[in-house]
Amino acid sequence: MARVCLERVARKFESTTAVEEISFEIPDGEFWVLVGPSGCGKSTILRMIAGLDAPTTGNLYIGDRLVNQVPARQRDVAMVFQNYALYPHMTVAENLGFGLQMRQADAATIQAQVQSVAKSLDIAHLLQRKPKQLSGGQQQRVALGRAIARSPQVFLLDEPLSNLDAQLRDETRAELKQLHQRIGITTIYVTHDQMEAMTLADKIVVLSRGQIQQIGSPQQIYNQPVNRMVACFLGHPPMNLLQAVYDAGSFYIQGQRLPCPARLIPLLNSAQGHSFDLGIRPEYLQVISSSEPDQTTATLETIAQLVEPLGRENMLRVVLPNSDQILNLTTKTEIYPQIGDRLTLGFDLNALLVFDASTGAIVR
């Protein structure tokens, strides 16, 4: 196992900058997730760590060794690709032991390691099968097992669950987390799926357009986002955003007045007439009776636009009157309004996040 350190690393392809100068250090044994929209540079970062791409500038360390000029095969890292990349003519056992064979390990060592890994991943009964005889989930386990069998210093995973169906993805994600807890190999995982990032990571690196937006624990990223992009990217359903104008201690949204959180008023003294985006997560919103205004600190008048039953709860989409500003929230199953019904939404004002409309930076 080893730490991974990037110092002002950048990657350019001719006139295109895929990754700006980025720096971070992953401590030995931790599980970090690189997350962001397509094209943000996360897979390019993984490929530079693996040695498949070279940094244009900056330094990359694995352990205490500078590896900028070290070939991929000498970096002691193992990578699992999105398409599994199993050798179709080999059995599962041969796939699992291939990395050890390339290192010229003796037959007894290879057999013992293959049996150990296969047992830990519950694929021992598949050792004599070929990849084409396996399901997608079984192929994914073999790909993981082949990487683990090498006992690498660093484990790299590039969207390894994206080809699985929803139920199998959930099961494999849980198994992957348990596996890391057992073996403790430094792991870097790339995904665009915020659910995978939140459930797997010790730390999350949020990327956009080749730049790091924020690094932190899942809880920090979710509860204390540094900007609008981070706040909206993590969370399902995503954060609601409302366009508002600030004036004298209040926000005005399509004619509705919303008090400004008291903690922010001193920061907005010079922002009269300025535009802001107000963020509120769906779980903080609730449908209340207009005769019970004391239940919450703040309210918004809305109109029901869509109801989606989800079993134990309903997903509700509402719109502000005379506007196209939409809010999503979850409700109890007994709350099932008709399309066009007027609803009062209430929420704790302290849950409101305020972003500068032009820069996206959070006000705090």
Give me the pLDDT at residue 165, please: 81
The domain boundary residue, chosen from 233, 260, 286: 233
- 219: in domain: yes
User: Which residue range(s) make up the domain with 181?
Assistant: 4-233
- In a shared domain, residues 188 and 316: no
* Spatial CB neighbours of 318, under 8 Å, sequence gap ≥ 6: 302, 303, 304, 305, 326, 327, 328, 329, 343, 345
Q: Specify the 3-state DSSP secondary structure of 234.
A: coil
Element (H, E) at 177: helix 166-183
pLDDT tens for the chain, 364 residues long, are 689 999 999 999 988 999 999 999 999 999 999 999 999 999 999 999 999 999 999 999 999 999 999 999 899 999 888 777 889 999 999 999 998 888 888 899 999 999 988 988 889 999 999 999 998 888 888 988 888 888 899 999 998 888 778 887 888 888 888 888 888 899 999 998 888 999 999 999 999 999 999 999 999 999 999 999 999 999 888 999 999 999 999 999 988 999 999 999 999 988 999 999 999 999 999 998 765 555 557 999 999 999 999 888 999 999 999 899 999 999 988 888 999 999 999 999 999 999 999 999 999 8
- 363: in domain: no
- Orientation of helix 166-183 relative to helix 136-149, angle to 10°: 20
- In a shared domain, residues 82 and 108: yes
- In a shared domain, residues 201 and 267: no
- In a shared domain, residues 259 and 138: no
Tell me, what CATH number does 274's domain have? 2.40.50.140
Number of domains the chain contains: 2
- In a shared domain, residues 260 and 209: no
Give me the pLDDT at residue 290, please: 64
Residue showing tokens 């769906």: 282
- 362: in domain: no
- In a shared domain, residues 259 and 132: no
Give me the pLDDT at residue 172, please: 82
Give me the pLDDT at residue 333, please: 87
- 364: in domain: no
* Spatial CB neighbours of 131, under 8 Å, sequence gap ≥ 6: 84, 86, 87, 88, 90, 92, 95, 139, 142
The domain boundary residue, chosen from 184, 203, 233: 233
Give me the pLDDT at residue 291, please: 59
Q: ∠ at Cα 242 (239, 248), nearest 5°?
A: 130
Cβ-contact 197, 191 below 8 angstroms: yes
